[in-house]
Amino acid sequence: MDFSVSKIISGTMAIVRERFGPLLGLWAIFFAANIAILLVFGLALGGSILSVSSLENPEGLGAGMIVSMIIAYFVYFLVSLAQVGSMNAMASPLQKLSFADALSAGARSAPTLLGAAILLMIAYFICAIALGVLGGLLAMAGKAGTVILLLLVIPPILYLVCRMALIAPVAAVERVSNPVAVITRSWALTKGNVLTIFLTFLVFAVVAFVAVGLLFVPLMGMMASIKNGAAEAPSLGSMAAAIVGVFIVSVLLSIVSATLSAVMHGALSGSTGQASSDTFS
């Protein structure tokens, strides 16, 4: 596939049309799993709060609740990563998996994606400390310093986002299990293609912003009219329709987003001939 914005978008739309049912099913399964996790945690938390008055050491319960929250968030995040991996595996133009195989690919890739996320988060915090020091120095220059800081920070962030854009499909489709290898593979594949990836993401962001805005702005207007006690307040039906519309659009954007990265990975991995053991270049 020619790696251009138009080819990527057309390829993405073709995959979405062809595999929409399985992609929606994968999204729904993991969404339901996360809802179940939140419900179980909520019920457990509610029961703990009700029983706190009967305990001799409520401080111990507080520590246990914190640990439980951390575990619940960890599991929720892991399930979300499995969702991303499974949808990338299903949407990849390099393969045509069954629903069960896509589920398996998502579960298999989740720990790898978690490891990569942790590594990137560590790198982020290290850079944030350095930028904090730099920001403190530039703050003495007033508004000009703020502008300089933004000009120094935003382009590298966008560049790194584009270079890391293929982490999910590398883990899910190529079955790379080493988090470092996943990062370096994405880095190698995106070499020389940052501008195309950025423009593709920009098109997607504009479309997403317009699609959500067309539904979200009227919803906010309805809520404002109710708050202000307008004479012609919107009906519950219209508000429910707007909320459902926002939800549907968010689901569609999630499916398109996963397909977009899978299509970019398919185009680049099919054209570069690079091995997954490639390192930063």
Give the tokens for residue 43: 């019920």
Amino acid at 207: V
Q: 139-157 pLDDT, tens per residue?
A: 776 777 777 777 888 898 9
Percent of the chain with pLDDT over 90: 53
CB 152 within 8 A of CB 134: yes
CB 249 within 8 A of CB 212: yes
CB 15 within 8 A of CB 264: no
Q: 15-44 pLDDT, tens per residue?
A: 999 999 999 999 999 999 999 988 888 777
CB 97 within 8 A of CB 58: no
pLDDT of res. 97: 93
Q: Residue 90: is its pLDDT beyond 50?
A: yes
Please report, for residues 102, 141, 146, 196, the alpha-carbon distance to residue 150 in angstroms, rounded to integers and kept in the order given: 40, 13, 6, 23
* Dihedral of alpha carbons 157, 162, 165, 167, sign: negative
pLDDT of res. 51: 59
Please report, for residues 1, 88, 124, 183, 251, the alpha-carbon distance to residue 110 in angstroms, rounded to integers and kept in the order given: 28, 12, 20, 14, 20
DSSP conformation letters of 204-257: HHHHHHHHHHHHHHHHHHHHHHHHTT-TTPPPHHHHHHHHHHHHHHHHHHHHHH
- Give the mean model confidence (pLDDT) for residues 252-266: 95
pLDDT of res. 274: 45
What is the phi/psi pair of residue 155, to 5°?
Answer: -60, -45
pLDDT of res. 43: 77
What is the chain's mean pLDDT, rounded?
83
Q: Residue 211: is its pLDDT beyond 90?
A: no
How many CB atoms within 10 Å of residue 124? 13
Q: Among 156, 187, 163, which residue's Cα sits nearest to residue 276?
A: 187
Q: Which residue has the higher pLDDT, 250 or 231?
A: 250
Q: Residue 196: is its pLDDT beyond 60?
A: yes
Kindly provide the b/e burial profile for residues 236-254, where b requires at least 16 CB atoms within 10 angstroms of the residue's own CB: eeebeebeebbeebeebeb
How many CB atoms within 10 Å of residue 269? 21
- Give the mean model confidence (pLDDT) for residues 217-241: 64
Q: 63-79 pLDDT, tens per residue?
A: 666 777 788 888 999 99
pLDDT of res. 67: 74
Q: Residue 233: is its pLDDT beyond 60?
A: no
Least confident of 71-85, 120-134, 173-187, 247-261: 120-134
